[in-house]
Amino acid sequence: MAINVNEVYKTVLLIINKEQRGYLTPDEFNKIATKVQLDIVNEYFETINQQSRVFQNETEYGNRYKTVEQNLDALKTIGTCAYDGSTSPPTFKLPTSPIVYKLGTVIYKDNIEVEEVQKNELIRLNLSTLTKPSTRFPVYLNENNKLTIYPASISSDIQVTYVKKPADVVWNFTSTSGYYQYDVLNSVDFELDAIEQNNVIAKILLNAGIVIEDQTIIQMASTEIAQESQNQKV
């Protein structure tokens, strides 16, 4: 279940305004919330990278690697790459709706995985008929959000699995007599699992404390974030 943007904004305002410390406008909140959401997604990638190198607790809820992968599930998708024969060599454009944030697997004809290589590797592969890319063992270069697939005879049937870029968080409103009224129809919730709500609030408060120049808010949020990080390592 996603995190409700209105619940988060109301909580943030309640904490900030508790002792008349300042005010966070909807525009400021939206920018900070969007940044925090991307920061957390980037932390997922780093955690996966770290946890893949260590022994995992195999109890049902103790496997950190598995937990983070599950947290990313809402952002995982698959899309078709459009062939562009006008370039030299021809390329495939990565999907733009939704936008690719982290590329996963490149797939040819639904069941053949295309291996990523670097330019120097491609040169070496082409030196031998045994290693030269083929439709059974294709490879690709990834440059500027475009894939160059080898052999060049492949001109269709390319799909990619990927983590999409989460939509910008938006707390939208209508204004009535100078008061902001939450507009649920035109607002955009976080695309993070509800388990991250406290973490989201703490990170938004940290950034908000910087915006309104309040050291008390910054210290409180920093302590909460440090505790959350420690809990995850236990």
Tell me the pLDDT tens digit for each residue of 78-121.
999 999 999 888 999 999 999 999 999 999 999 999 999 999 99
pTM (2 d.p.): 0.84
Q: Detail the DSSP E strand segments found in 81-166.
A: 82-84, 91-93, 100-108, 112-116, 139-143, 146-150, 158-164
**Ranges of each domain in the chain:** 5-72+190-233, 76-164
pLDDT one-digit tens code per residue, 4-46:
999 999 999 988 886 555 688 999 999 999 999 999 999 999 9
Secondary structure class of 78 (helix, strand, coil):
strand
Pure H helices in 52-191: 64-72, 119-125
**Length, in residues, of the chain:** 234
**Are 66 and 48 in contact, with CB atoms under 8 Å apart?**
no
